[in-house]
Each structure stands twice: as structure tokens, then as C-alpha cells.
Structure 1
Amino acid sequence: MDNLPLSGIKVLDLTLVLAGPTCGRTLAQYGAEVIKIDPDHRIPGLTPWIDVGRGKKSICLNITKKGGLEAFLKLAETADVIIEGFRKGVTDRLGIGYTELKKKNPKIVYASINCFGQSGPWSLRPGFEQNAQAATGIQVRNSGGISYYPRTATYTLNDYGTGLAAAYAVILALIERQKTGKGQRVEAALTYTSANLSGGFHTFNDEYNHKQNTNDFHSGRINRFPADKPGAVRRGGRQPGLKGTNMFNRLYETKNGWLFLSAPISYQVKMMIPMAGYLNNVPEFSHIAELAHTSFAGMTDKDPEEEMYKIFLTQTTEYWINLLHKHGIEAVKNTSSEEIFNDEYNHERKMIMRQDYENWGTVTWSGNPVSINSNEPFNVSPPQFGEHTFDVLKDVGISENEIKNLIESGAIPETVPINLK
């Protein structure tokens, strides 16, 4: 791991759940020594541990017990980065806040991760993935708009996204430290990530909105197709940029599943007719261009999109994808998680990873979102819970006698590792 970009960087990871641990895992995958610190009574779930615990060392340390805080401060004096995910003010009460730690280690980069940020009236509120979705409009957008019941997004885009954003902030702070010799505090928040990832829905220009009559855009209303239409993709009005649907950019059900058709298209209705020409060379759709022309001209009540929907139902997903690809039209099969993990092509391109571990058996996980020239430690094993406790403490000069005192006070367990299975 000495050839990796973050080799030599020491990180203390005090975080919980997914967002913070994802930050630590990301730093570990690029060479940082990441030490995950948990009290022995805070046993993590097995699946998140295997997912976001990979590449880290694990120690059990309760800083609220006698000697625990002093042991942590010794670790902090030798660290480059600390990641914490507590509510605002908690670390200060525990004696491990940024103001206190930078006195002992002016070069420390201190990353704070929560739901609502470190400032403003919501900064003291707890929050998780679904809270961030609700606060930034995702659940309204995911339902089709304000006329429909809000619906949560079932994937944790903000947890994982915030972890990556926090890692990005840490790396920027480390780069700046090379110039100034000083550390700093950085922050990431689930709501910041959520707003950023859905940025197009929050980008607004009064003049453009007035000219295009797009008042429905930010309210989340559907522009042309009802939300309950089979396979309809939810979007706002005629907003700038590709956001979702028309008859050439939407989900279609097939004889044995679903696919997403993605032909080049403009949202201006006047462009819909020539774009239908993309399908002219596909026999099954050769009449769609003419139908689109008469439909948009108001010469027929027949819906060209509904006609396409019926056509797609006549053949399998594989048939349509092969046919459309021959004519240069992009279409993608809707796949399940099982299909993704069983597709060897995904393993070859390292989008999906698989490894056999002595302690965990066969483990699969998603690969890194970016690739660099140096060898990435994809096959790093998750640690056993607390397995590095004694070694890490000894490395910072804590003696055998002090370790015995920590055990007696309950600051560390007598026996590690602790089995999560």
C-alpha cells in the first residue's frame, strides 16, 4: 500500500451507520491507515461492517470510562485526520471537539458529518437518510409531484454520497495543509449532498421560468404524461437539461421485463417529430414518425407513445436491445441486484468485487467509483470487531499496565476481537 496516494496518512474514524464509515472506507481504499473506534457495547450490524468497514483497523475504546479519554487523546496527537458523526456539540461535551484537539495537534484535519450541517437553526437536530430526502424535495419528486403521496427513495444515495463528499473534503484539506502547515475543520451533511445530487431541480432563473412558463418545474408537477402511466418517468416541466421523460426517453415494459429507451431528444415539442426518424429504420417502429407528426399536429387522437408501449410488449428485452443497438439506438435492460452481481462482465471491469476471506467467507461489494493508475487495494478485508485494540494502543506508547487499568475501568474489553456473526 506504500504506492497509494494516501499512504502515510493516519485517520481516526468515530462515525456510525453509513455516511461517516463510507468516508473512512474511501480513504482506506486509497492507502490511509484508518482506525475505526467503537465502544464494545456499540456493536455494528454485520452487513454495514463488511461493506464500509473494509480496509480499516478496529479498536474498542469507550472514552466515557476512566482512562478512555486520555487514551484517545494520545491517538489524536499522532493522527492526521479525525472523522466524527455526532450531533453538533456532542464532541465538545466529550472533550474531543475540534477546538480542543487542535491545541494538541494543530495539523489535524477534523471532518464533521451529520444531516443538517454545523450552522443554522436545524444544526442541532438528529437526522438520517430519509430525513435528508424529505428536507430537500426528493420524496416529493420521487412520487411525481405535490399532487401525489411523497415516496422515499429506497437507496441510500445521501449516506454513500456524503461519505464520498467528506472524503473529498478531507483530501482537499490535506492538500492545503501541505501549503500552510495547518489543519482545519471540514464538514459534510446529508442534506447538502441531497440538494447537490438533485441540483437541476434547484437551479432556477426567473426570466427563463417566465419565458418558458415552467412554474410547474419546482412544484414537481408532471408536464405531459400522468405519473400513473405504465413506465412513465417522473420529471418536472420543460426545464433546461435532460431530466426525464418523453416517448424516446423512458421505461418500456417488454415480454419478459423492462428496458429504458434513451434516444437523442430535445424536450422542445417541435423536435419530437424529426427525432422519431431515429426509429424509421426499425421495421416495428417505422410508422411512429408519421404518427408523431399527426398527433402533435392535433390530427389524430392516437397516442404515439402508447403505440410504442404496445409494440415493446410483443418481444423480449433481449430482442429489443439487440435490434435497437444494431440501429445505433441506446436501450438498457433493467437489472436486479442479483443479476448485477452474477454478471462476470461487471467483475471484469471491477464494478463488482468478490473475495473469499477466512473470517467472513465469500464477500461481494461494489467497486470504487473512480480509478487511478496506482494499484488500488480492492481486496482489503473488513477487520474483526476490536481486533487491533491492544496493538494500536501500544503503538502510541500506552503501556501494558495502562492497558490493564483500561480493562478494569471498562474503557476497553478484556477479550478481543468480538464476534459479529
Structure 2
Amino acid sequence: MSGQASGPLASVRVLDLTSVLMGPYATQIFADLGADVVKIESPEGDTTRRLPPVLAPGQGAMFLNINRGKRSVAIDLKTPAGRDIVLRLAATADVFIHSMRGAAIERLGLGYAALKAANPKIIYANLYGFGRGGPYADFPAYDDIVQGASGLASLQGRLTGGDPAYVASAVADKVAGLTGTYAVMAALFARERSGRGQEIEVPMFETMTAFVMAEHLCGAVTEPPSGPAEYARVTAPDRRPYRTRDGHIGLMIYNDKQWRSFFKLIGDPDWSRDPMFASMTSRTENIGTVLGRLGDVIVTRTTDEWMEAFRVAEIPAMPIFSTSDLLNDPHLAATGFWHRADSDLGPVRMPGIPTRFSDTPGAIGDIGPALGAHNHAVLAEIGFTPGEIEALEVSGVLRAAAG
């Protein structure tokens, strides 16, 4: 079931000229929420098709998940005929999203002016590394590059007390993808009011800088700065999962009420009356010492003992789960989070849609499609005859689906 027929975006058609993770993650959300997402690929296909584990030729596991519910057309965009196909598709589309550098998309003749001429109401979204107005504009960018450039890797190093380090998730790609999703939806809403399309720019560097500096601007919020651009609580070396007697636990004793409950739980020791524990301000000013003292206490009981006590005391805490643990987590099972379906590869499992709509729920479509699987269906919808489509495949403008 690719090209969804239900959900809050059921009437929206998206042309998806993105690859790897940032753009496909954004358009996955559109597909989950009901949009008809047409994935435009080169004859070689999205590179994630070949990322291990590859379950079948052209069907890497990441590709299957983040391109679920989409339809694939494989077009050689360097040919005039390939460009014309995209412009004809654009005339029927609501949204065009690409993740190429600005100069590259213009060389293909598929910049905003060309798409706007084909469809004045189209929402045209640029998702790329750096904003067009600065000296980094034409630099290539991937998640690691932007984690480093945005200050995130440096902050991770501060947390670990060592060299800069990357977060163990492609967080820059996904935050930029989410930002692209909400920006396009906002533009669609504006078009409902004004009737006008528009161009959107979502640069990873600026997006992640805003994301990081939401809490880390701190003392630099004033000119001149009154202190460092760093939120000391989250970079304190003692901010980490706490070791228990038999494992680890995630614990966040945050407000005054929670600290009072914690002290009562451990018998109100003499050190609990130290002025540094008296308020959020004093705890933050002495965060290293506060967290270190907390760690000395948590190691004295087992994870289960602490979890039972914290649930009674209403103190936020959870055991530390691995990604494998999540596959059988009882809460995720109870909420129906994991989506299971049959496919040509056998049974598959994918993360579910985390948002819930009472009236227009989304749905997860088929796993990521074979390269060019929907050439005929998509092009027929814009007036191509079967003979014309076959001729385009023979000439190499379209890549025919294998088999």
C-alpha cells in the first residue's frame, strides 16, 4: 500500500527528490500521515538502498523503513526528457522537496523558478547543509559534519571530559528533517489562507545551531556576555546514567518538591541540609558536586529497589534500556507502537507513528519500494501512454524496475 488514501494529509502530493536520511525522514512523515509521496531517484537509486544490512538487492534495512509508503520513479534528471517529466509531475503536486546543494539543483534546471512556472501554487522546500546567504553555502554536509559545526560534538566532549564526540544518533539529519516537515506543513496552511505557494529553505547548520543554542545560549544572551554560552547542568561530567548495585538507572531529580521527596526517601541525612541543595539556583550553581553526591547514593541499591521507591515518591526515573530492549518493551507493546507486516522479504517490523489523530489517523504503507517500481503508474497519471513510458525506459531516461 504505497500512496496512502487516509490520514490528515490524504489530499497532498509530495515530489521527493531527497536521499540518505534527512529528506527521506521528512517525507516518511508525510507518507505516514497520508500524503502520496513520489520518490524521484536517479537510475542508481538512493545510496541507502546499499547500506548494510541489505536484505535483498537494493533493499537496505534503513531504506525500507524511512521510505515506507512511498512510490518510486527512477529518472535520469540530466536528460531534457527527465527534467520535463519532473516538471509535468510538478504541475500535479502540492510540494517539491529536494536535498541537493543549491548550485546542483539549478544545474538540473529544477530550481524554484522552474517549478513555480510549472505550478505557481507549489511549495518548494530546499533541505541542505548551509544557508545560501553565507560563505559555507556550497559546502557539502552530512550529519557528522553538522554535529561538529553546530557545537554539539564539542558539548559532548565537555560532558565526557574528553575529546569532542558525536551523539550516537544521526540527530542533525533527523532534527533538520523534522524542521523541514513542519515548515512545509506551515506553508501548506498559509497557502490555504492566501492561495499562494512559496519557497522554503531549511539549512542543517542553522537548524542545528538553533536547536543546540536553545538552552546553551545562557550567559551569551546579553551583549556583552555575562557568562559562557553553555548550560552547565547538561555538560557536567557527573550528568550520566547512575550506576546502581546491579546496573544503571536514568534519574532526574529536578524541582524542590522532588528533592524533598528524595531526601525523605533516603532518611534525611545531614548533608541534605547543606545550603547548596536548598533551591534550583543553588543546585545549578553547584551542579557537579550535587550530581556527584547523588551518584554516591544511587550505587547503594539495586535498580529494582530504586525504581520501586521512585515510583512511590513520584520522582522521574527509568532503567537504562538498550535498543534491543525496546523491541520487547511492555509499554511499547501495550500502545501498539511496533508495526508488523508481511512483505516480499517476509515479516517485517518498523517503528510506528508516534502521533495519534482521533479523527484522521495515519497509516504505515509498504516497505520502501523497489527502484522504479512505480514508473508506469505515476507517469500514467500525468498522461503518458504505456508505449511512451516503455520508450523512455528503453532510452535510459527511466530505469525500469528489476524483474
Is the Cα contact below 8 Å between 2:43 and 2:74 reproduced in 1? yes
Deviating 4+ runs (over 6 angstroms) = 223-226
Structure 2 CA distance for partners of 1:319 and 1:275, relative to 1, 3 Å? closer
Structure 2 CA distance for partners of 1:399 and 1:325, relative to 1, 3 Å? same
Is the Cα contact below 8 Å between 1:29 and 1:376 reproduced in 2? no
Structure 2 CA distance for partners of 1:307 and 1:98, relative to 1, 3 Å? closer
Is the Cα contact below 8 Å between 2:98 and 2:127 reproduced in 1? yes
Match of 1:202? 217
Aligned length: 375
Root-mean-square deviation over aligned CA pairs: 2.8
Are residue 82 (structure 1) and residue 96 (structure 2) matched? Answer: yes
Match of 1:281 among 264, 269, 272: 264
Q: How far apart, CA to CA, are the structure 2 residues paired with 1:304 and 1:163? A: 37
What is the CA-CA distance between 1:357 and the residue it aligns to? 2.0
Match of 1:23? 26
The DSSP-based 3-state class of the residue aligned with 1:256 is coil
Q: TM-score, normalised by structure 2?
A: 0.84
Match of 1:356? 341
Is the Cα contact below 8 Å between 2:353 and 2:364 reproduced in 1? no
Match of 2:72? 58
Is the Cα contact below 8 Å between 1:67 and 1:411 reproduced in 2? yes
What is the CA-CA distance between 1:292 and the residue it aligns to? 3.7
Structure 2 CA distance for partners of 1:364 and 1:119, relative to 1, 3 Å? farther
Q: Deviations over 1:132-169 (max 9, x none)?
A: 11111101111117974111111112211211111111
Moved more, 362-371 or 393-402: 362-371
Structure 2 CA distance for partners of 1:328 and 1:174, relative to 1, 3 Å? closer
Match of 2:163? 149
Is the Cα contact below 8 Å between 1:75 and 1:396 reproduced in 2? yes
Q: Deviations over 1:50-72 (max 9, x none)?
A: 22101111111112236222222
Structure 2 CA distance for partners of 1:171 and 1:223, relative to 1, 3 Å? closer
Matched to 1:372, the amino acid is F
Gaps (5+ residues) in structure 2? 50-59, 278-288
Is the Cα contact below 8 Å between 1:143 and 1:149 reproduced in 2? yes
Identity rate, percent = 26
Pairs within 5 Å for 1:14-413: 14-43=17-46, 44-45=48-49, 46-65=60-79, 67-144=81-158, 148-198=162-212, 199-203=214-218, 204-206=220-222, 210=226, 215=227, 217-218=228-229, 227=237, 232-233=238-239, 251-265=241-255, 276-282=259-265, 285-288=266-269, 290-293=270-273, 308-350=294-336, 352-382=337-367, 383-413=369-399
Is the Cα contact below 8 Å between 2:156 and 2:235 reproduced in 1? no
Q: How far apart, CA to CA, are the structure 2 residues paired with 1:179 and 1:106? A: 15
Q: How far apart, CA to CA, are the structure 2 residues paired with 1:151 and 1:92? A: 35
The DSSP-based 3-state class of the residue aligned with 2:241 is strand
Match of 1:243? none
Q: TM-score, normalised by structure 1?
A: 0.81
Matched to 2:267, the amino acid is S
What is the CA-CA distance between 1:208 and the residue it aligns to? 10
